[in-house]
Amino acid sequence: MGHRMKTRCFVAVLIASAVSAPTWGDDNWPQFRGVGGLGIGRGNPPTEWDLQTKQNVSWVAPLPGLGHSSPIVWGDRIFVTTAVNSDTENPSVETGWIGGAGDSAQDTGEWTWQVACLQLSTGKILWTRDVHSGEPTIKRHLKATHANCTPVTDGQFVVAFFGSEGLHCFNFAGQPIWNYDFGELRSGPYDAPDLEWGFASSPIIHEGLVIVQCDCLNTNFVAILDIKTGKEIRRIDREGEVATWSTPLVITTEDRQQVVCNGYRQMAGYDFETGDRLWHLSNGGDVPVPTPLYANGLIYLTNGHGRSPTYAIKPTAVGDLTPTNDATEETGLAWWQPQGGSYMPTPLVINQRLYTCNDNGRLEVRNALTGELSYRQRVGTGSQTYSASAVAAGGKIYFVSERGQVVVIEEGDEFQRVATNDMGEVVMATPAMSGDRLLIRTLRSLYCLAPN
């Protein structure tokens, strides 16, 4: 693996002053699934809308190219990524079980990877920047794109990751600050190395540092870089792991600060300062996608390809926590379930309830402190499948299927459907929220849904 760093500094006015990290009182949605990756907004977005009559539709912005990355929001700015193909305006994306067969897309032509900035209040595109053009280093899965990773911002910088096409940092005016080339990041199934599926782990920011998880077939590590310069500060080895598509999490407790990574052979927590592994589990699902969560003083991990376990881990855990049977004898585990986890969508933890929706639309709601099951229910109608993760606000939870069906339910220990909406288009990206606004990226457009 080659590490080639290109740092470009520009004499430019950045932002007048650094903006403090978002709090629960803000409307900012700075990374994949918002603050802390929890997927919880603080407003009251609409639960029903009509795309034809424009009821509760604030604006619609066409997006060129193809991307499954989520939009992020800071103030009146939205940032989103995409990849534009030179041979076709509308590259194909498969959905459902056919698309999940595992084949790579056979695209022709070159691609251009882009970062775009839109105005939240109007949907107007303020600027677009090309970061790379050429033939992709790695092919994409039939259901995937070359812009799967959600960007991240701290209010001063915007960082976008395109896997083998590099990590790129801009200021809010769209001026490039630095880029970092990790070389080839080969993502695909460990038991079929000839298949290429594309990269999908999103970057996060913590205390002025950018953290990326790069679990691939040819290399496995977590990299920590200075957000101002792009200099690599630390690299945490995850040798022996297979390819994963999960976004990492940083948590701070009284006695430690740790980076938590999902995985197949290494679901693990690492000391943020030293990179030492604190605890680990193995033998979960073999294509890990969901992002770790931290709530109620516990770390929640699930992965659901092959096996479908769910773990609630104490942040003070040490050593090997891998259960040997259905009992929870390991002191670092608060509880665990061998089944009922999620393959693609990341769960939600709200008011001591864990909401886990699998890609087949099966929802399990459990007591987040004990693991006790409250109910199971299929969310969508027909044969809906799910790649996007659920988000929640105002006591409501929003589930978006690959076919664009949006089911809204009440929070609680019983299944109560509030509304069902149809986006009329494929949706693979996880929605974002900003106050009373719900942002849904379809295959070709970005919708801002807000009370009229």
Q: What is the pTM assigned to this prediction?
A: 0.93
Measure the CA–CA gap between 94 and 66, rounded to whole angstroms.
Answer: 12
CB 189 within 8 A of CB 197: yes
Spell out the long-range contacts of 96-99 with Cβ–Cβ below 8 A and sequence spacing 24 or more: 96/383, 96/385, 96/402, 96/403, 97/385, 99/142, 99/143
Which residues on neighbouring strands pair with residue 77, listed in sequence order?
A: 74, 119
Q: Whole-number mean pLDDT of the chain?
A: 92
- Tracing tokens 């540092």 back to the chain, one arrives at 209
- Tracing tokens 């940083």 back to the chain, one arrives at 250
The pLDDT score that the predictor gives to residue 338 is 93
The pLDDT score that the predictor gives to residue 16 is 28
Measure the CA–CA gap between 393 and 42, rounded to whole angstroms.
Answer: 6
Measure the CA–CA gap between 253 and 380, rounded to whole angstroms.
Answer: 38
In the structure encoding, which two tokens stand for residue 276, read together? Answer: 């030492």
In the structure encoding, which two tokens stand for residue 132, read together? Answer: 């790379």
Measure the CA–CA gap between 232 and 210, rounded to whole angstroms.
Answer: 9
Domain of residue 164, CATH code: 2.130.10.10
Residue ranges, the chain, pLDDT below 50 = 1-25, 327
The pLDDT score that the predictor gives to residue 10 is 31
Which residues on neighbouring strands pair with residue 117, listed in sequence order?
A: 79, 127
The pLDDT score that the predictor gives to residue 98 is 67
- At 165, is the secondary structure helix, strand, or coil? helix
The pLDDT score that the predictor gives to residue 381 is 86
In the structure encoding, which two tokens stand for residue 444, read together? Answer: 């070709």
The pLDDT score that the predictor gives to residue 6 is 41
Q: Compute the C-alpha angle 331/337/342, nearest 5°.
A: 125
* Number of domains the chain is built from: 1
The boundaries of the domain holding residue 201 are: 4-449
